[in-house]
């Protein structure tokens, strides 16, 4: 509590840094190779909103993937931009979106001559993505600014083996959730600008969006991260990667488990610190596996889905953590066996579909809405995104027309007691009145 301070003498002002915050952000820019780094005290959400406000003007088109985070859709309410949706490729067995190939982005640019910006998610929550340097080169040739939601990849800058880091390759605007994969406090993130053209537009957007009373606890944690990464970032990541690879090797010795890492083939890449495990051959859903790990073994997973569980190995873990996970999975494989699971086709629909919203997110936000029971929503226009959180990817986009598959996915999510944002009083959703 003694360091929960405000703009007292000797500290600084995030809105107009001239002292210690200016220096801390400059040191962070040096650590991450940016032209300018801005500290974020409202997570990557604020950074994505600011990027859209800076680059995507009202009624201008921006390419984004169908697996964009819900905060991107909310950012379009602010910017007034028109989303042009790029399809993603899918690891169908896993029910996981791998990402958007650069060829699909370029084909959209060729078909639509008025694209003003591109936004991609790289890497995904599960750690997948493309060789981002090629994507940056091609979009730069097209003369279109590239925004990268790198919320789950802040650590990747400090390693050389996996070409997933958009910041390392110099994308125009890169937003990172420093708190997700590096040791910053929750909610503390960074916005890296790698093109001087966008420094002032981003600064002005953040001035609008960020609080005038920022937490110095959050900003101090970001300063601590830059100091730690400046001093020993590569060695920390080398140790972290080694631990992750050891866990992968140990899991491969256990019957009944699958690893996403082993199913990834070029052109796709995978971050091994995202240990994605399936116990489907044992008959366990990811939710069941996560429950057993938590209740019987005291292991809290990062995220679970129907077909898999996601474990995150970071700079704070040690070999004893790896051994504990291995022993727990070994025991589960011995005693928890049922009929093997199949992939759920209706879950894949969330990524396979090509949403065709009839209105932009801003238009939907401004329209009058009513609540209806979910079973009455088919054929109506969604009044807000419906999202299982995590991972925060909308199952239904605002402005999209509800179809049968939407209702099936949402009903299953309700039955599984998953946290669905956009469902109220048990089964009610907002639709446009008209």
Using H for helix, E for strand and C for coil, what is the string for 80-99? CCEEEEECCEEECCCCEEEE
Peptide bond into 391 cis (omega under 30): yes
Give the CATH class of 20-231. alpha beta
CATH of domain 355-432: 3.90.100.10
Residue 219 zone, left/alpha/beta (φ > 0; ψ -120 to 50; rest): alpha
In this prediction the pTM is: 0.95
The residues of the chain that CATH labels 3.40.640.10 are 20-231
The residues of the chain that CATH labels 3.90.100.10 are 355-432
Question: What are the distances in angstroms from CA 314 to CA 22, 155, 219, 227?
Answer: 28, 9, 21, 17
The neighbouring-strand residues paired with 117 are: 62
Please state, in angstroms and rounded to a whole number, the distance separating the CA atoms of residues 414 and 402.
Answer: 16
Percent of the chain that is helix, strand, coil (3-state, to 5): 45, 20, 40
Task: Give the residue carrying structure tokens 């704070």.
Answer: 316
Instruction: Give the containing element (helix H, strand E) for 304.
Output: strand 303-304
The residues of the chain that CATH labels 3.90.1150.10 are 234-335
In eight-state DSSP terms, residue 105 is H
CATH of domain 234-335: 3.90.1150.10
Please state, in angstroms and rounded to a whole number, the distance separating the CA atoms of residues 249 and 37.
Answer: 37
What pLDDT does 429 receive? 97
Please state, in angstroms and rounded to a whole number, the distance separating the CA atoms of residues 320 and 249.
Answer: 15
Q: What is the pLDDT along the chain (434 residues), one digit of tens a residue?
A: 888 998 888 899 999 999 999 999 999 999 999 999 999 999 999 999 999 999 999 999 999 998 999 999 999 999 999 999 998 999 988 989 999 999 999 999 988 878 999 999 999 999 999 988 988 999 999 999 999 999 999 999 999 999 999 999 999 999 999 999 999 999 999 999 999 999 999 999 999 999 999 999 999 999 999 999 999 999 999 999 999 999 999 999 999 999 999 999 999 999 999 999 999 999 999 999 999 999 999 999 999 988 999 999 999 999 999 999 999 999 999 988 888 988 776 566 666 666 778 899 999 999 999 999 999 999 999 999 998 888 888 889 999 999 988 898 898 888 878 889 999 998 999 999 98
What pLDDT does 20 receive? 95
């Amino acid at each position: 509590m003694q360091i929960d301070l405000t703009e007292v003498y000797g500290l600084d002002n995030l809105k107009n840094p001239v002292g210690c915050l200016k220096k801390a952000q400059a040191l962070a820019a040096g650590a991450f190779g940016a032209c300018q780094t801005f500290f974020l005290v409202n997570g990557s959400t604020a950074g994505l909103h600011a990027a859209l406000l800076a680059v995507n003007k009202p009624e201008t088109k921006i390419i984004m993937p169908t697996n964009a985070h819900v905060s991107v859709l909310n950012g379009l309410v602010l910017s007034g931009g028109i989303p042009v949706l790029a399809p993603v490729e899918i690891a169908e067995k896993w029910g996981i979106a791998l990402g958007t190939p650069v060829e699909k982005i370029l084909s959209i640019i060729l078909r639509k001559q008025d694209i003003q910006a591109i936004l991609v998610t790289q890497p995904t929550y599960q750690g997948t993505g493309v060789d981002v340097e090629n994507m940056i080169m091609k979009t730069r040739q097209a003369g279109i600014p590239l925004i990268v939601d790198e919320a789950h990849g802040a650590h990747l800058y400090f390693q050389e083996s996996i070409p997933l880091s958009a910041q390392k390759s110099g994308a125009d605007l890169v937003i990172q959730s420093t708190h997700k994969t590096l040791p910053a406090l929750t909610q503390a993130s960074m916005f890296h600008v790698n093109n001087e053209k966008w420094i002032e537009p981003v600064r002005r957007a953040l001035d609008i969006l960020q609080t005038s009373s920022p937490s110095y606890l959050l900003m101090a944690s970001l300063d601590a991260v830059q100091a730690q990464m400046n001093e020993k970032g590569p060695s920390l990541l080398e140790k972290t990667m080694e631990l992750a690879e050891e866990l992968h090797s140990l899991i491969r010795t256990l019957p009944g488990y699958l690893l996403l890492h082993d199913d990834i083939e070029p052109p796709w890449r995978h971050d091994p610190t995202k240990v994605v495990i399936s116990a489907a051959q044992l008959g366990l859903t990811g939710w069941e596996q996560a429950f057993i790990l938590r209740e019987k073994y005291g292991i809290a997973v990062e995220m679970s889905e129907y077909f898999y569980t996601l474990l995150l190995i970071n700079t704070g873990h040690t070999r004893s953590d790896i051994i504990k996970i291995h022993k727990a999975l070994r025991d589960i494989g011995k005693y928890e066996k049922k009929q093997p699971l199949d992939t759920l086709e209706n879950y894949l629909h969330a990524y396979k579909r090509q949403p065709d919203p009839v209105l932009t997110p801003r238009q939907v936000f401004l329209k009058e809405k009513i609540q209806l029971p979910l079973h009455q929503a088919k054929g109506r226009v969604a009044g807000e995104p419906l999202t299982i959180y995590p991972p925060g990817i909308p199952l239904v986009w605002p402005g999209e027309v509800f179809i049968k598959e939407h209702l099936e996915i949402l009903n299953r999510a309700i039955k599984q007691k998953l946290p669905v944002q956009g469902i109220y009083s048990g089964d009610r959703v907002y639709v446009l009145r008209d």
